[in-house]
Amino acid sequence: MSAVKKTAKAGLYLLSFFVVLLIGGAVYLYTNMDSLAKQLTEQVASDALGVPVHIGEMNITLEDLKVIVQDIRIENPKGYKSPDAITIKAIVIDGDNFSRELLTFARISVSGTHVNLEVDRDGTNLADIKNNIANSSPPAPSGGKSAGAHKEDSIKVIVKKFSLTGAQLRPSVTLLGGDLPIITAPDIHLAGIGQKENGILAQEAIAQIMDAVLQKFNKSANGAGFLEGMSLEMLNSMGVSTADVFKKNLKKSYKKEVDGFKKGFGEIKSLFE
């Protein structure tokens, strides 16, 4: 066999080897797409909230541009009693358009949310997570990093509609002590996240959504009386306005007056019976 034929044959073997590698890599990415996306999502969410976030299962259907995330656990900041601050049964994400640099979601629907509220003199576990969000910043462009490092840092997203329904707040630890009822928070609806900017970093989108959600939870907790004993300054820092506090106190005072009137009326009525 001539040297030319030997070289050509070696070249074909080498080309075949690279083809096998490429196909094998593509098959690996496709078959492990859910687990890879799960790890990436956990990392980005944890960075955004400043506490570990765990996902039980993530299923992606590219044909329908649909993602279903199940059994999400958002851990408590250090120093709190419960291991988890928030657990979520399911998040259903309906995609609109996915590209390598921009993910556009038509809607994100969250259901089966349970919140373990813990209150102390210095604040609450939800307030601490909210502060983590405020103090975190999206990753800076990787100018000095090697090419391809942290590709998730450049992924941008748009969320057209977001909804969280039927969330239950359980006051596990409060300054009041004793047993307090579990309440259902009002449904939360957001729209146009990242649309004005034609996409924002995934970490920033998670931070914006969770900041709004936590503020709603804090207002619900205040309205239910779970935050009794906290200073107005602390409540304001949690997103509970002075007007919200005044409204809750006015409602509480009104109820006290009504109860007193009913009691007095009952006593007067009993005199004539």
> Within a 10 A sphere around the Cβ of 94, how many other Cβ atoms?
15
Backbone angle region of 68, left / alpha / beta, with phi > 0 → left and psi within -120 to 50 → alpha: beta
Task: Please name which of 207, 28, 202 lies closest in space to residue 98, comparing C-alpha atoms.
Answer: 202
Is pLDDT larger for residue 4 or for residue 224? 224
Q: Which secondary structure element, helix H or strand E, spans residue 201, and what is its range? A: strand 200-201
Confidence of residue 246 (pLDDT cuts 50, 70, 90): low
CA gap 9, 205 in Å, rounded: 53
pLDDT given for residue 172 in this prediction: 80
**Mean pLDDT to the nearest integer, 219-244:** 75
Residue-wise pLDDT for 124-142, tens only, equals: 999 999 999 988 766 554 4
Exposure string over 134-170, b if 16+ CB within 10 A, otherwise e? eeeebbeeeeeeeeeeeeebebbbbbbebebeebebe
When comparing pLDDT for 254 and 246, which is higher?
246
Q: Does residue 159 surpass a pLDDT of 70?
A: yes
pLDDT at residue 146 greater than cutoff 90 = no
CB distance 153 to 204 below 8 Å? no
Q: Please list, in sequence order, all residues whose beta carbon lies within 8 angstroms of the beta carbon of residue 258, skipping any fewer than 6 positions away.
A: none
Instruction: Say yes or no to pLDDT of 3 above 70.
Output: no
Per the prediction, the chain carries an average pLDDT of 78
At residue 215's C-alpha, the angle toward residues 214 and 218, to 5°, is 85
Predicted confidence (pLDDT) per residue in 178-216, tens digit: 678 899 999 999 999 999 999 999 889 999 999 999 989
The region of weakest confidence among 109-113, 184-188, 239-243 is: 239-243
Rounded to an integer, the average pLDDT of 162-181 is 84
